[in-house]
Amino acid sequence: MTKYNQLTPEENRIIEHKGTEMPFTGEYNDHYLSGIYACKRCNAELYRSQGKFSSGCGWPSFDDEIAGAVRREIDEDGRRVEILCANCDGHLGHVFEGEGFTPKNTRHCVNSLSLSFIAD
Residue tagged active-site, from 39, 42, 85, 109? 109
- Read off φ and ψ for residue 51, nearest 5 degrees: -90, 0
Task: Produce one character per residue of 21-51: b if its CB has 16 or more CB atoms within 10 Å, e if not.
Answer: beeeebebbeeeeeebbbbbbbebebbbbeb
Q: Any catalytic annotation for residue 109?
A: yes
If 0-12 CB within 10 Å is exposed, 13-18 middle and 19+ buried, where does residue 80 land?
Answer: middle
DSSP secondary structure letter of residue 79? S
- Residues with catalytic roles: 109
